[in-house]
Chains A and B, each alone.
Chain A
Amino acid sequence: MIERLETLVLSLADDELIIGHRHAEWIGLGPILEEDIAFASIAQDETGHAQAYYQILTDLGLRTPDEYAFQRKASEFRCAHLVELPNFDYDYALALMRHYLYDAAEQIKLQALREGSYDPLAGLADRLLREEKYHWLHATTWIKRLAYSTEEAYLRLKSAIDQLWPYAWMLFEPLPEEAEIVEAGWIPPSSVLRERWLELIQPTLISANLFPPPPASETLLPLQGARKGLRSPYFDELLQEMTEVSSSEPGAEW
């Protein structure tokens, strides 16, 4: 039972940790000071969510949050490849679109967890939804603003969603032993969550002419396995950078 719970919690926690790290790469580089501060704060929130998820496992006698974040091998992570993607050439449209697609999914998952049967997760989801409200407001306000501003802004968003779409779709790749996890009542099946996610983002994306068709299965095939530990080609460099300080002085007090 505890292994399955760890599977579920790590899929949630690792997504948060890694997207927090990628968002944080924008610190000091944001388009204007005000947005730089807002986005950095969102990055910090996501990292905090990861810590709170890990703590649920720690309370069950498993590893500590720092051990989960900084002392695991790449193959032990369970994040989706969407959050591992680098910021490439630092196009803010890509950052905003990933933030939008990801936080839509996070919101759907949190709402489902809140109704779930595992009390520590349900209670945490209830708390995290408060912060998620702001993340969603921030993401949707930007996407709506940019989608209807200039042709350049539209084209940048279009190219961002085309690039991210298959990866976003795979946020809902079924977990290992998902049938048993669903049976326990912790969370509904990934396919159900994906439908809810599509319902949430569809109206905005369709009216902005930014809604792609479902990805072809041959596009998705090479993206499979993230929840079993298969990492994208971008992960090793990220992990090395993320653990650089902690590995310089293992066990240091902060």
Chain B
Amino acid sequence: MSSLDPRIRRAEPELWTLSTPPLDSLEHWPTYEVFVQRMRGGHAQHVGSLHAPNPEMALVLAKEQYARRSQCVALWVVPTEAILWTSPADEDLFQPAVDKSYREPQGYLNTRERLEKYRDRLQATSHD
């Protein structure tokens, strides 16, 4: 069925597909990973990826894809191929083999009480 949209009818996209030759290498654009810095001094946060012919165009296109709606003070783009990553199959890398809860924030709970207890004990021993 042909489109009801007059723009589409004028542009006759069905003719494009009929006459479009297979993509050549120039049309296979690389991807870039996009990072948004939401405030000055803040860290850049990964927000997604996009296709672009070169890094400059990646920045230009990233602005409308990823910085249109929310606060942004700077954009970064990085060629996806520049990024090394660990395989999800290796996620056991990140699992501790023994209890390492002391590395977690709750390892620092009650620090003040423990410190005060320690001080009290020190005082008690010095009076001896």
B-binding residues in A (CB < 8 A) = 25, 27-29, 32-35, 37-38, 41, 86-87, 90, 134, 137-138, 141-142, 145, 149-150, 241
Interfacial chain A residues near B13, Cβ < 8 Å:
29
**Contact indicator per residue, chain B 1-33, by CB within 8 Å of chain A (1) or not (0):** 000011110110100000000000010010000
Within 8 A of A (CB), among B47-70: 50-54, 56-57, 60-61, 63-65, 68
Q: Check A38–B60 contact: CB distance below 8 A.
A: yes
Q: Is the CB of A145 within 8 A of B51?
A: no
8 Å CB contact of A90 from B11, B26, B63: B11
When C-beta atoms are compared, the residue in chain A nearest to B7 turns out to be A25
CA distance A134 to B6 in the complex (A): 29
- Tell me the complex Cα distance, A37–B62, Å: 10
Output the nearest chain B residue to A29 by Cβ-Cβ distance: B11
Of A142, A145, A241, the residue contacting B6 (CB under 8 A) is: A241
Interface residues on B, range: 20 to 34
**Do A150 and B26 contact each other (CB < 8 Å), given the known contacts A141-B56, A145-B56?**
yes
A134 touches B63 (CB 8 A): yes
Given A34-B51, A34-B52 in contact, is the A29-B7 Cβ separation under 8 Å? yes
Q: Are A141 and B11 in contact (CB under 8 A)?
A: no
Interface readout for B81-97 with A: 1 if CB under 8 Å, 0 if not?
Answer: 00000000000000000
Please name all residues of chain B whose beta carbon is closer than 8 Å to the beta carbon of A138 when the two chains form the complex.
Answer: 60
Contacts A29-B13, A32-B51 given; indicate if A137 touches B60 (C-beta within 8 A). yes
B62 to chain A, nearest CB (A): 8
Rounded to whole Å, the gap between the CB of A8 and the closest CB of chain B is 31
**Considering the chains assembled together, what is the distance between the CA atoms of A222 and B87 in angstroms?**
66
Residues of A within 8 A of B51 (CB): 32-34
Interface pairs A-B: 3 shortest CB-CB: A38-B64, A34-B61, A90-B11
Instruction: Contact check, B7 vs A35: say whether CB atoms are below 8 A apart.
Output: no
| A144 to chain B: closest residue by CB | B56
- A residues within 8 A CB of B65? 34, 37-38
- A137 neighbours in B (Cβ, 8 Å): 60
Task: Give chain A residues whose Cβ lies under 8 Å from the Cβ of B64.
Answer: 34, 37-38, 41
Residues of B contacting A29 in the complex (Cβ-Cβ under 8 angstroms): 7-8, 11, 13
Task: Tell me the bound Cα distance from A90 to B52 in angstroms.
Answer: 21
In the bound complex, residues from chain B placing their C-beta under 8 Å from that of A134 are 63
Known: A29-B11, A34-B50, A37-B64. A145 touches B57 (CB 8 A): yes
Q: Nearest chain-B residue to A240 (Cβ)?
A: B6
A90 neighbours in B (Cβ, 8 Å): 10-11
Contact A38 B61 (CB under 8 A): yes
Q: Given the complex of chains A and B, what is the CA–CA distance between A33 and B54 in angstroms? A: 16
Q: Which of B11, B29, B63 contacts A32 (CB 8 A)?
A: B29
